[in-house]
Amino acid sequence: MRNSTVDLLKALASQIIVVHHLLLYTPMSPVLQAKWPGLLGFIADEGRYVVQIFLVIGGFLAAQSMFSLLGKARDVAVWPLFKKRFLRLAKPFWIAIAVAVLLGWLGGKIAMHEEVADLPSFTQLLAHAFLLHDIVEVEALSAGVWYVAIDLQLYAVLVLMAWVSQKTGGLKLLEPQQGLLLLAIAMTLASLLVWNRNAEHDEWAWYFFGAYGLGVAAHWAQGEGKVAWVSLLIAGLLSIALWIEWRERLLLTGVTALLLMNSDRIESLVSVIVQGPVRWLGDISYSVFLIHYGIAVFASSVVIALGLSSFAEMLTAFLLTWVISVAAGWVLYWGVEK
């Protein structure tokens, strides 16, 4: 059954990320921000936080499959599950990276600017192919690619937790599903209160597991009818984490988890909003996220080469780049991801 809240959040978050990156990496941005400094300045500065929405949704959806697997008493096959997830993430990612490299090279032939990079080395390509670019500290070939590697790591951690819970039988005290929940909550606490406070860990899953784990807890609470008290626990945990160290991104994390926990209750309301176009944007959100940077780099070269400068010209170029990014994401989704 489709979850309209998930569709809506994915659609909104992906479009905000596109606008955020267009504001950061294109020559249209200064002209547009001068006209609308409040709104566009806010998106340029704070838009990166919406990635937290994807992290919470990732935990919510992964928990759905893991709890279901444990509930059916099926073996948690770690390698097949990891391989399936890797290929699902990597195949559209590989295409998007190839497009980014190609469009960057073509853009450099038209007009040079700071986002045009040299052709990548074999080592750089190899690191991206296996989603190890941050771990081995090579320069990213596209914006936001760190998220893809982190999503894979987070999923792998949850699969290993499910495997441990099944093999130990909850240490004979808990059901495997309860064991998985306990492990996820423990790592969530450690992440929010310790690891997430040190940016040196941001290439590893444990730095982000606080958001992912809240998604896991949200799914469990929804399925077990424990929304009220889990909501209080999340509010209390986030209050403590924010008291220890203020992090704005945690506020969005908490709101997302609360919305997902109550998604069954608000389905009738949200489904009115989430019709054809919004549902479609939710479906293609990952592909749009992957593909838009290369298009932005190429569009920047075109804008510079054409000598565009007026507000009307820059607004048109910005909107056209945005629309083409969405269209390219749709092509990538239907051609590769789906």
Predicted local distance difference test score (pLDDT) of residue 170: 54
Predicted local distance difference test score (pLDDT) of residue 214: 97
Alpha-carbon gap, residue 210 to 253, rounded angstroms: 9
pLDDT along the chain (338 residues), means of 10: 90 97 96 95 95 97 94 85 97 97 94 87 95 92 94 98 85 80 96 94 95 97 92 94 94 96 89 85 97 96 96 97 98 95
Identity at 243, one-letter amino acid code: W
Contact 19, 322 (CB under 8 A): yes
Predicted local distance difference test score (pLDDT) of residue 270: 86
Tell the burial category of 123 from Cβ atoms under 10 Å away from its Cβ (0-12, 13-18, 19+). Answer: exposed
Predicted local distance difference test score (pLDDT) of residue 114: 85
Give, in order, the Cα–Cα distances in Å from 278 to each of 284, 323, 331: 10, 15, 17
Predicted local distance difference test score (pLDDT) of residue 271: 80
Predicted local distance difference test score (pLDDT) of residue 269: 85
Instruction: For the chain, give every domain's residue range.
Output: 4-337
pLDDT (tens digit per residue) in 11-38: 999 999 999 999 999 999 999 999 999 9
Predicted local distance difference test score (pLDDT) of residue 113: 87
End-to-end CA distance of the chain: give it in Å, rounded: 17
Contact 142, 97 (CB under 8 A): yes
pLDDT (tens digit per residue) in 285-311: 999 999 999 999 999 999 999 999 999
